[in-house]
Structure 1
């Protein structure tokens, strides 16, 4: 039973990652890699600060990975990816806008 299961899993993985490999699959993998890098960046920044922080790079990796994954989902006609990444991109961009707005000096600080 275990031998058959290992053959079935191996056959599935071969089919998904080798037999069906094309440039679109590579693009999707790159998008997921960029998307995943945001967690590494956030973890390193939090460890350095000794508290949980979300650096600006987190949002840039989110946008890059999300956009590439969205393109992949559009090409593959995957509604789950399209909805998830399409809605998420708005949130990532909004967070960058909020960060930018909060970093600008206010009128009181400029004249102060």
Structure 2
């Protein structure tokens, strides 16, 4: 298989992962009957963002690279904040 076909598949995979987060958020919010962002949203955001960033680097697209790199930073930071909050709650410290 040619490299460009593999990278095209990686790009589509990244877009699919990235899109799944919206489906997960919508289903979760419907179940809760309020707008919420579940943990899986951030994991799919990170997985899709990293995959799309890889594709953008392969394509050498600076606009796409900047956009995805910024997103990856934000998704990672949200996961760090969630982990910190869980540790704080588990230790009983407010």
Fold similarity call, TM over 0.5? yes
Instruction: Pick closer, same or farther for the CA change 1:105–1:81 going to 2, 3 Å.
Output: same
- Tell me which residue corresponds to 1:23: 6
Instruction: Pick closer, same or farther for the CA change 1:26–1:107 going to 2, 3 Å.
Output: closer
CA distance in structure 1 between the partners assigned to 2:91 and 2:24 by the alignment: 34
Give TM-score, length-normalised by structure 1: 0.75
- Tell me which residue corresponds to 1:87: 70
- Tell me which residue corresponds to 1:43: 26
- Tell me which residue corresponds to 1:59: 42
CA distance in structure 2 between the partners assigned to 1:30 and 1:98 by the alignment: 27
Give TM-score, length-normalised by structure 2: 0.89
- Tell me which residue corresponds to 1:104: 87
Unaligned runs of 5+ in 1: 1-20
CA distance in structure 1 between the partners assigned to 2:6 and 2:25 by the alignment: 29
Unaligned runs of 5+ in 2: none
Deviation, structure 1 residue 106:
5.2
Work out which of the two has the higher radius of gyration on C-alpha atoms and give 1 or 2: 1
